[in-house]
Amino acid sequence: MEETHYSTSEELQATLQELTDLQDQCTDLHVMNEQLESDKAVLLESLCSQTEKLEDCRSKMVKLRQLLLEQYESEEKIAVLSPTERETNLVELLKGCHNEQQELTLKKEELNLSISQLKEKICRLEEELVMISNKNR
């Protein structure tokens, strides 16, 4: 009877050890699964980012192809145009460039003014911060 009790106790101990080992393995697998899910999310994010970059490159490539075709077609048209028509086209192009330059100059001046105002505001805020800092001492 004692022998049966001893072997049953040994079996229970072995079963308990087995269950503990399995629980440890389950915990390890759970941790590994979480790490794999995290890695999967990173890879998916990277894939999405790369896909967006690819689409952006494709659209740029299409635009460049269109520009090249337009340039090629316009060069063919220019070759057919008379000198007066070419001069007229060049004058129109120069006027457009001049207008664009004026617009960009205005934008630049606006931005410079905005920068100056922001610098002044930063200086005022820094002075206030120094004053507040000195008061707290």
pLDDT in tens, 2-40: 666 668 889 999 999 999 999 999 999 999 999 999 999
Report d(CA 19, CA 5) in Å as an integer: 21
Sign of CA dihedral 15, 21, 24, 28: negative
pTM of the model: 0.41
Radius of gyration of the chain (CA): 38
- The tens digit of pLDDT for each residue in 60-114 reads 999 998 988 888 777 666 666 677 887 888 899 899 999 999 999 999 999 999 9
Return the C-alpha torsion angle 95, 98, 103, 107, nearest 10: 170
